[in-house]
Structure 1
Amino acid sequence: MKSDDVPSATSFPSGSPESRAMIAEVSRAWSLVPRHYSVMVRRGGRLVASVQAWPDGDAWWIGRLMVAVDHRRRGVATALLRHAQAVATSGTTHIRLNTGAASRINLRFYESEGFTAGPTNGDGMATLSKHLLPDERAHRSDGPPRT
């Protein structure tokens, strides 16, 4: 799997029957739980990547971003993170997520995507935030596509 196999921040991939099947699966996953969104990428029935997102006031939270070890270093996490941000609902002023405060790899990844780490809480988690500029807020919709 390559980054082209997961939804990008601006559009779903097209082309092969396999990509079209994945698009249908992703679209269904987005609509499973109102106001809480999940993308699950499967290959051969195996879950190989996922991300969740949900609104909380004017914040859009992203969580449970994961990519199977044998599918890493191909841009999949970046594509999923960007897609989860792109489908934030209207009224979102900032995006937040939590990760392990000791996970230097995760912290570097999120910081490279424009997130800023805040203080570490007592359970070893760091909250990172990304504030949206007014023009970024203007392009928000009512969330991910529904099927």
Structure 2
Amino acid sequence: MIRAFARDDYDAVAEVWSAAGVEVVPRAELDLKLSRDPELFLVSLTDGEISGVILGTWDGRRGWIFRLGVHPAHRRRGIATALVRELEARFRALGCPRVNLLVLPHNESGLRFWQSLGYLPAPDVLCTRPL
């Protein structure tokens, strides 16, 4: 079962992200995100417990996918693919024409996963600056 994140889910979501080796988003940062498009932050439930998480956002022009993580005990069951497909459906419902995401260069298995779902590397150069 996939549903939108609820505020009481934070500890379980942080645990999944941590177990999956994904950086945990601080609660205060999530509160800001949830004020914009809470329907794009999804969790997957297995036997009533959170087993996977995907954080999506839409800037009005492009959808973005961040922080996909599945607990190692629940991998290889299609949870990540189901989360991505549900998020894509929600993006489509908003009128979003394109989805972007970032994969770190050393994450070969992650890149293979995203490519298997039709996401292709782009030659763009990522620039970032902490505020």
Structure-2-length-normalised TM-score:
0.63
Q: CA deviation at 1:122?
A: 6.7
Cα distance change of structure 1 residues 44 and 90 upon mapping to structure 2, 3 Å threshold = closer
**Shift of the alpha carbon at 1:112?**
0.9
Amino acid at match of 2:117: E
Partner deviation per Cα, 1:77-105 (whole Å, 9 max, x = no partner) = 00001111110143311011112122111
Q: Could you tell me how far apart the structure 2 residues matched to 1:105 and 1:28 are?
A: 26
Residue 68 (structure 1) aligned with residue 71 (structure 2): yes
Q: Secondary structure at the match of 1:86?
A: helix
The correspondence for 2:103, drawn from 99, 102, 123, is: 99
Aligned equivalent of 1:114:
118
Q: CA deviation at 1:46?
A: 5.2
- Counterpart-to-counterpart distance in 1, 2:35 and 2:43: 13
1:54 aligns to 2:27 (yes or no)? no
CA deviations on 1:1-50 (whole Å, 9 max, x unpaired) are xxxxx34xxxxxxxxxxxxxxxxxx2463xx5432421123557754210
C-alpha separation in 1, matches of 2:77 and 2:46? 15
Change (3 A) 1:91 1:42: closer
Q: Secondary structure at the match of 2:67?
A: strand
The count of aligned residue pairs is: 99
SS at match of 1:66: strand
1:56-86 Cα deviation digits (max 9, x unpaired): 1310111111001110011000000111111
* Aligned position for 2:80: 77
Higher strand proportion? 1
Query: Please, which runs of 5 or more residues in structure 1 have no aligned partner?
Result: 1-5, 8-25, 124-147
Larger radius of gyration: 1
* Aligned pair partner of 2:90 in 79, 83, 87: 87
Q: Which sections of structure 2, spanning at least 5 residues, go unmatched?
A: 7-33
Distance 1:114 1:98 in 2: 14
Q: Match of 2:72, as an amino acid? A: V
Percent identity between the two aligned chains = 30
| TM-score, normalisation: structure 1 | 0.56
